[in-house]
Amino acid sequence: MIAIIDYDTGNLRSVKNALHRLGAEFVVTSEHDVIRGAEKVLLPGVGEASAAMQKLRERGLDEVIPTLQVPVLGICIGMQLMCRHSEEGDAKCMGIFDTDVVRFFSERSLTDSMQTSSGSMLNSSGSMQTSSGPFLNSSDSMQTSSGPFQNPPSPTELNDLKIPHMGWNGIEELKTGLFDGVEDGAFVYYVHSFHALMCDEAIAVSHHGVDFCGALCKGNFYGTQFHPEKSGATGARILHNFLKL
């Protein structure tokens, strides 16, 4: 049995519909015993991070979820709540994934993107070594690293980038069985204004001005920033893969 965690953060219908389409049986619950006894656990959610985290706490779910041994998949805000901290409402989250959630193009969003791109942009005090303002306008001053995306957004590019990041974007550098049969560059549907900073636990990377975690994995815990339940055949494949884990 699959448990969809219900913590009163709005509409679970699209996740339920997606599981129906896959022919999976599930319960919608906030009961600890039912969640502990499930073979797979889904943590969906929409809304604001600090309020959502508060709702998990009220139900004691912030204690239960990190102790689960079975595959757990957080979707969108569900994934964000599994990170350490979110800038949205300054929320302390469950700390399963070793990364933080920041608003698109906030100071940390931009500086972190440059740091992970160059690896040497920050001096020991953490401040920028360049004097060209917050944005680098020339990529040749940067060391390249692995990965398809390196350049931080130019001010012009930044001006054109919309928040929320809404629509279909590609996922790259796919890892783990969650993406079996999914090609690098496949498109998935995103709707969000906050993103998880790049880290070693990223199993999918997308780009919107900055690189960010499209999906995360640590042990039995998985999270997708995108909505597999709204991502057509690609999303159905990813959910199918999760159910097979």
Partner 1 sequence: MLTKRIIPCLDVKDGRTVKGVNFLNLADVGDAVALGRKYAEDGADELVYLDISATFEGRRTFTQLVERVAAEIDIPFTVGGGIGTMEDAARLLDAGADKISINSAAIKNPELIDGIASKYGSQFVVVAIDARLTDEGVWLATTHGGRNMTDKELFSWAREAQERGAGEILFTSMNHDGTKKGYPCDTFARLADMLSIPIIASGGAGSVQDIADVLTAGRADAALAASIFHYNEIPIPVLKKALHEQGVNVRV
Active site residues: 76, 227, 229
Contact pick of 25, 140, 160, 200 for partner 1 (by CB under 8 A): 160
Contact pick of 14, 50, 154, 220 for partner 1 (by CB under 8 A): 14
Contact pick of 37, 134, 164, 181 for partner 1 (by CB under 8 A): 164
Report the residue number, 39 or 107, with the smaller CB distance to partner 1. 107
- 172 has which bridge partners? 205
Q: Is 168 in the site for partner 1 (CB under 8 A)?
A: yes
- 122 has which bridge partners? 128
Nearest to 90 by CA among 102, 108, 74: 102
Report the residue number, 11 or 145, with the smaller CB distance to partner 1. 11
Report the residue number, 1 or 161, with the smaller CB distance to partner 1. 161
Exposed / middle / buried, residue 123 (Cβ in 10 Å: 0-12, 13-18, 19+):
exposed
Q: 51 vs 100, 161, 243, CA distance in Å? A: 17, 27, 29
Q: Where are the beta strands (DSSP E) in 66-209?
A: 72-75, 85-86, 91-92, 100-103, 165-170, 187-192, 194-196, 202-208
Asked whether 40 and 73 are in contact (CB, 8 A), the reply is: yes
Binding mask 183-222 for partner 1 (x = CB under 8 A): ----x-xxx---------------xx--------------
Residues forming contacts to partner 1 in the complex (CB under 8 A) are 10-11, 13-14, 17-18, 20-21, 46-47, 160, 162-170, 187, 189-191, 207-208, 227, 229-233, 235-236
